[in-house]
Amino acid sequence: MAKTETMTINMGPQHPSTHGVLQLVLELDGEIVRKITPHIGFLHRGVEKLAEHRTYHQVLPLTDRLDYLAPMHNNLGYVLAVEKLLGIDEQIPERANAVRVMMAELTRIKSHLVWLATHALDIGAMTVFLYCFRERERIMDFYEKISGARMTSNYFRVGGLSRDLPDGIEREIRAFIDEMPGHVDTYEGLLSGNKIWQKRVMGIGVIGAKDAIDIGLTGPALRASGVDWDLRRDQSYCDYDKYDFQVITGKDGDTWTRYKCRLDEIRESCKIVRQVLDGLKPGPILADCPKVCLPPKKDVVNTIEGLIHHFKIITEGFKPEPGEVYVGVENPKGEVGYYLISDGSPHPYRMKIRPASFVNLQALPQMAEGAMIADVIAIIGTLDVVLGEIDR
Amino acid sequence: MPEWLVTTILILVKLGFVFFLLLTGAAYMVLAERKLLGRMQLRYGPNRVGPFGLLQPLADAVKLVTKEDFIPSQADKFLFFIAPGIAAVTALLTFAVVPFGPPIRLFGREVPLVICDLNIGVLYFLGLSSLAVYGVTLGGWASNSKYALLGSIRALSQLISYELSMGLAIVPVVLMARSFSLTNIVNAQAGLPFAILNPPAFLIFLVSVLAESKRIPFDLPEAENEIVAGFHTEYSGMRFGLFFVGEYINVIILSSMVTVLFLGGWHGPLLPGIVWFFLKVGFISFLFIWTRGTLPRLRYDQLMHFGWKILVPLALVNVIVTGAILLLLNPAKG
Amino acid sequence: MLDSYLPIIVLIVIALAFAVGTIVMSHLIGHRKPSAVKLAPYECGMPLVGSARERLSIKFYIIAMLFIVFDIEAVFLYPWAVVFKRLGMFGFAEMGVFIFILLVGYVYVWKKGALEWE
């Protein structure tokens, strides 16, 4: 073929389909993309650095704002890391763990709903978008009732939960979980059988198991390539091993497989939430570690110990032993890990976040070079990146 | 009253009627689309301006007119200026040959319900739809922005590709009606509409028309998820408004053409002809909106593949087959 | 005969008046506060890279050339379709040959890969 001149074009940060402020510099040969260079950092807030000047409790709200589509997962990863650093990870009450699992799985459904909504919208199926957001709204309502906030939940605490579930929420969640698989069938009805949809996603953005592992893909993007790896099962946390669920894997590693995997994961998450609700027993929601967990308000005003603990935790925070720890959790998008170093002071000496989207984004050039502009959009969608987490 | 005066008045009245109809039709088409899409997508659609949002088009027009009117510094000013005009004017002109009802008797004379029944109506329609490509292409090119350029090139190749299959799908109609005049074509369908007599041509035409209207699943020239807004990325205010109006007038015109060429125009039982005509147009327009609420978007190569490798050969074969069947059914004399 | 085009000429005038009128109206009513950044071409909020006046992929032009070839063919089909009845079998056979030749060209174009996009 004759030599062609390429056209360089900025896609993003101000673009409808780069899922936030991702900038891609594309080199186009007609409609075909020859080279992709992702530029990131437009949403950089310096969360890792900010954490070094806050007490361990104060870092928690920062983690909400990483992957703002799955805030509870970020809370969970951080909280687990701090608990491990303190050595209290065995003392978390059963109820707290159960609620953590339930909220994590609801969050997974919520995050996958946003993924499906935007992915479908990017490919032109705008109706699916609103259908997904209808269900997401229900989860947002649960969020609001449980944590007080719709987006930035800040619900988990080192040692347990910030507060117990409100009355009657179990019934509402159960009703939602009962109908959710039917909604997933509706989405499938709108998309899976559609010839145009199939043509747009089948065989697009293929990545093999070896490449996926080499790049460090995690989450559904890895499992769709045929690698059976899920932290919930393989490095169980929060008593995930008590629940019966399947790790969904695919074979082909294309956009279609990732789409199917995520939809099936929604169904599995429903199963887990149902099991949690079945086994939910009343009990304490915070570990019995007065130096770490805030005492109940009535103890603060009635007992001198409560007052002192409260004062110490609020003004100074707790001081973990020097040491370092890494905990990864299975975020809807992949493995989100928190690496903490303590020097014995009340602030983390260093907090390093291993974001799932950041690593997954690295697969974009490999998956999309040689494809067409429309495929790039589909592949950004299928990687399910969220810029808050990439830029931190 | 002198003869010429009556003729002139009749022409002006018809023109005024059609012009009014097209503009309000296009405006309410936008509202209808937003309402219908809203209902399909579990929301209400516009319902704030006037009862049931019925004054929304007016509000939109006021907003567009009062918007800032600017020309990008690097644009080709002249082409940038005339491109939306071409888009709107070609759309408005096409309706001139569309017969929207059976002739009526007024002042003791026969008045055909068409602005002018050209004996080359079909060619007039095809010619104007070719011209309409210029509006989109020049607009995108003159903007001197890469997204607009991509959009206009996509639009160009899509529109000309599907114009081919659209034109080829009309040939069987002309074969069957033996005339280019749209009135004659409608009259030839007094018995059975051509959609039933020649379903392949009807389907090819319907799909091509959907592509010509640049709507989902063929909305690549303005696919906002890929190329922001395509050819009208740089347009704002009333210039954008003209593209927009042109697009919706186009939907009405193309629906009318489907009605006239394949659905028997104004023919239908019980109701008066003009009502039938607008019912059919409304139904086809509804199909347009319905597809938008249902289907995803094709990719560029799939679009070209579909147009060139499926529709064009199919349409060609259909021409031959229709000709052969017509010859077999009633062999020509002499 | 030509007077049947009179309404169309009137319509052209009205349509032009509409197009020009609305733009002039918005020009008069709309406020204007241009600035260098506002008038710059849209590039997703980033400084321009290169320009839009570059050479484009040849593939788009191939489509245009193919269109011209096939559109001219369609132009030949129309007159034939109108007088189809009178030309009868002879005209049909002639057209059949014509379309066949075109189909040969079409197959050639297909085999050559002009309709492929990869």
Cβ–Cβ gap C45/A4 under 8 Å: no
Confidence of residue A17 (pLDDT cuts 50, 70, 90): confident
Q: Which residues of C touch B67 (CB under 8 A)?
A: 26, 30
User: Residue A26 pairs with which residues in a beta bridge?
Assistant: A9, A36
Residue written as tokens 């101000």? A14
Interface test with C, best of B66, B133, B157, B322 (most C CBs within 10 A): B157
Residue among B217, B228, B301 whose CB faces A196 most closely: B217
Please give the angle made by the CA atoms of A322, A353 and A149, to the nearest 5 degrees: 105
CB atoms within 10 A of CB A363: 22
Confidence of residue A4 (pLDDT cuts 50, 70, 90): low
Where are chain C's structural domains? 2-112
Taking a contact as any Cβ pair under 8 Å apart, which residues of chain B between 134 and 153 contact chain C?
Answer: 143-149, 153
Residues in chain C: 118
Residues in chain B: 334
Query: Exposed/middle/buried for C37, CB within 10 Å: 0-12, 13-18, 19+?
Result: exposed
Question: What DSSP element (H or E) covers B101?
Answer: strand B101-106
Q: Please say if the pLDDT value at position A2 is more than 60.
A: no
| Residue of chain A with shortest Cα separation from B40 | A127
Q: Which residues of C touch B146 (CB under 8 A)?
A: 41, 43, 52
Those residues with Cβ within 8 angstroms of residue A119's Cβ, 6 or more apart along the chain or in another chain: A259, A378, A381, A382, A384
Is the bond preceding residue B217 a cis peptide, omega within 30 degrees?
yes
- C-contacting chains (≥3 CB pairs under 8 Å): A, B
Cβ–Cβ gap A13/C117 under 8 Å: no
| Residue of chain B with shortest Cα separation from A376 | B226
Confidence of residue A113 (pLDDT cuts 50, 70, 90): very high
Name which residue leads in pLDDT, B55 or C34. B55
**In contact, A271 and A278? CB cutoff 8 Å:** no
Taking a contact as any Cβ pair under 8 Å apart, which residues of chain B between 248 and 287 contact chain C?
Answer: none
Name which residue leads in pLDDT, A132 or C3. A132
Averaged pLDDT, A298-320: 86
Q: Which residues of A touch B216 (CB under 8 A)?
A: 124, 126
Determine the Cα–Cα distance for residues B114 and B16; give it in Å rounded to an integer.
12
User: Which range (A212-221, A230-239, B234-243, C2-11) has the least confidence?
Assistant: C2-11
Interface test with A, best of B228, B299, B301 (most A CBs within 10 A): B299
**Residue B152: per-residue pLDDT:** 87
A334 phi, psi to nearest 5 deg: 145, -160
Cβ–Cβ gap B69/C27 under 8 Å: yes
Determine the Cα–Cα distance for residues A386 and A360; give it in Å rounded to an integer.
10
- B-contacting chains (≥3 CB pairs under 8 Å): A, C
Residue among A7, A10, A31 whose CB faces C46 most closely: A10
Question: What DSSP element (H or E) covers B110?
Answer: strand B109-113
Averaged pLDDT, A54-77: 88
**pTM confidence score:** 0.86
Convert the pLDDT of each residue in A188-216 to its tens digit.
888 888 888 888 888 888 888 888 899 88
**Residue A339: per-residue pLDDT:** 92
Determine the Cα–Cα distance for residues A104 and A121; give it in Å rounded to an integer.
26
Gap from C106 CA to chain A (nearest CA, Å):
22
Q: Which residues of C touch A29 (CB under 8 A)?
A: 57
Determine the Cα–Cα distance for residues B234 and C52; give it in Å rounded to an integer.
13
User: Residue A331 pairs with which residues in a beta bridge?
Assistant: A334
Q: With an 8 Å Cβ cutoff, is B155 touching chain C?
A: no
Q: With an 8 Å Cβ cutoff, is C116 touching chain A?
A: no
Cβ–Cβ gap C115/B145 under 8 Å: no
Residues in chain A: 392
Please give the angle made by the CA atoms of A134, A120 and A45, to the nearest 5 degrees: 80
Closest CA to A32 of C16, B91, C116: C116
Determine the Cα–Cα distance for residues B217 and B228; give it in Å rounded to an integer.
16
Look at residue B279 and give its three-state secondary structure: helix
User: Which range (A15-19, A372-376, A388-392, B44-48) has the least confidence?
Assistant: A15-19
Structure tokens at A265: 């994961």
User: Residue A161 pairs with which residues in a beta bridge?
Assistant: A156
Confidence of residue A326 (pLDDT cuts 50, 70, 90): very high
Structure tokens at A301: 């005003």
Amino acid at the residue A318? F
**Residue A31: per-residue pLDDT:** 81
- Chain A residue set in contact with C, beta carbons under 8 Å: 2, 4-5, 7-15, 23, 25, 29-32, 372
**In contact, A114 and A67? CB cutoff 8 Å:** no
Q: Which residues of C touch A30 (CB under 8 A)?
A: 56-57, 59-60
User: Which range (A14-28, B11-25, B117-131, C48-62) has the least confidence?
Assistant: C48-62
**Residue B192: per-residue pLDDT:** 83
Q: With an 8 Å Cβ cutoff, is C50 touching chain A?
A: yes
Amino acid at the residue C113? G
Gap from B330 CA to chain A (nearest CA, Å):
41
Residue among B73, B174, B324 whose CB faces C40 most closely: B73
Averaged pLDDT, A374-388: 87
Q: Which residues of B touch C116 (CB under 8 A)?
A: 301
Pairing state between β A32-39 and A156-157: unpaired
Q: What's the CATH fold of domain C2-112?
A: Methane Monooxygenase Hydroxylase; Chain G, domain 1 (1.20.58)
Taking a contact as any Cβ pair under 8 Å apart, which residues of chain B between 156 and 175 contact chain C?
Answer: 156-157, 160-161, 163-164, 167-168, 171-172, 174-175
Determine the Cα–Cα distance for residues C108 and B314; give it in Å rounded to an integer.
17
β strands within chain A, DSSP E: 7-11, 23-29, 32-39, 156-157, 160-161, 323-331, 334-342, 348-354
Q: With an 8 Å Cβ cutoff, is B332 touching chain C?
A: yes
Averaged pLDDT, B31-48: 88
| Residue of chain B with shortest Cα separation from A31 | B300
Gap from C69 CA to chain B (nearest CA, Å):
10
- Chain B residue set in contact with A, beta carbons under 8 Å: 37, 40-43, 146-147, 150, 154, 216-217, 219-220, 223-228, 292-302
- What percentage of residues in chain C have a pLDDT greater than 70? 95
Amino acid at the residue C108? Y
Q: With an 8 Å Cβ cutoff, is A374 touching chain B?
A: yes
Tell me the range of A177-181, B105-109, B224-228, C7-11 where mean pLDDT is highest. Answer: A177-181
Determine the Cα–Cα distance for residues B138 and B78; give it in Å rounded to an integer.
10
Q: Within 13 A of B201's CA, how many CA atoms are on the CB side?
A: 28
Domain A55-347+381-386 has CATH 3.30.450.20: no
**In contact, B264 and B189? CB cutoff 8 Å:** yes
Q: Please say if the pLDDT value at position C118 is more than 70.
A: no
Determine the Cα–Cα distance for residues C11 and B95; give it in Å rounded to an integer.
10
Convert the pLDDT of each residue in B237-267 to its tens digit.
888 888 888 888 888 889 988 988 888 878 8
Interface test with A, best of B226, B227, B233, B294 (most A CBs within 10 A): B226
Query: Exposed/middle/buried for C105, CB within 10 Å: 0-12, 13-18, 19+?
Result: middle
Handedness of CA B39, B41, B43, B49 (dihedral sign): negative
Structure tokens at A285: 């929601």
Gap from C40 CA to chain A (nearest CA, Å):
14
Is the bond preceding residue A348 a cis peptide, omega within 30 degrees?
no
Taking a contact as any Cβ pair under 8 Å apart, which residues of chain B between 187 and 216 contact chain C?
Answer: none
Determine the Cα–Cα distance for residues B332 and B266; give it in Å rounded to an integer.
30
User: Which range (A99-103, A235-239, B295-299, C44-48) has the least confidence?
Assistant: C44-48
Convert the pLDDT of each residue in B180-208 to its tens digit.
888 888 888 888 888 888 888 899 999 99
Closest CA to B295 of A137, C44, A127: A127
**In contact, A88 and A290? CB cutoff 8 Å:** no
Closest CA to A251 of A208, A188, A215, A198: A208
Structure tokens at B26: 């296009």
Confidence of residue A300 (pLDDT cuts 50, 70, 90): confident
**In contact, B113 and B191? CB cutoff 8 Å:** no
Pairing state between β A323-331 and A348-354: unpaired
The 3 state secondary structure assigned to chain C is CHHHHHHHHHHHHHHHHHHHHHHHHHHHHCCCCCCCCCCCCCCCCCCCCCCCCCCCCHHHHHHHHHHHHHHHHHHHHHHHHHCHHHHHHHHHHHHHHHHHHHHHHHHHHHHHCCCCCC
Cβ–Cβ gap B164/C70 under 8 Å: yes
Convert the pLDDT of each residue in B67-99 to its tens digit.
887 788 888 888 888 888 888 888 888 888 888
Amino acid at the residue B227? I
Determine the Cα–Cα distance for residues B193 and B211; give it in Å rounded to an integer.
23
B-C contacts at Cβ under 8 angstroms: 209
Confidence of residue B177 (pLDDT cuts 50, 70, 90): confident
Q: Which residues of B touch C115 (CB under 8 A)?
A: 304-305, 308-309
Determine the Cα–Cα distance for residues A35 and A370; give it in Å rounded to an integer.
8
Q: Please say if the pLDDT value at position B302 is more than 50.
A: yes
**Residue B334: per-residue pLDDT:** 40
State the Cα torsion C78-C84-C87-C93 to the nearest 10°.
Answer: 80
Gap from C104 CA to chain A (nearest CA, Å):
25
Gap from A389 CA to chain B (nearest CA, Å):
22
**In contact, A140 and A71? CB cutoff 8 Å:** no
Structure tokens at B289: 């909106």
Confidence of residue A1 (pLDDT cuts 50, 70, 90): very low
Closest CA to B33 of B204, B209, B244, B212: B244
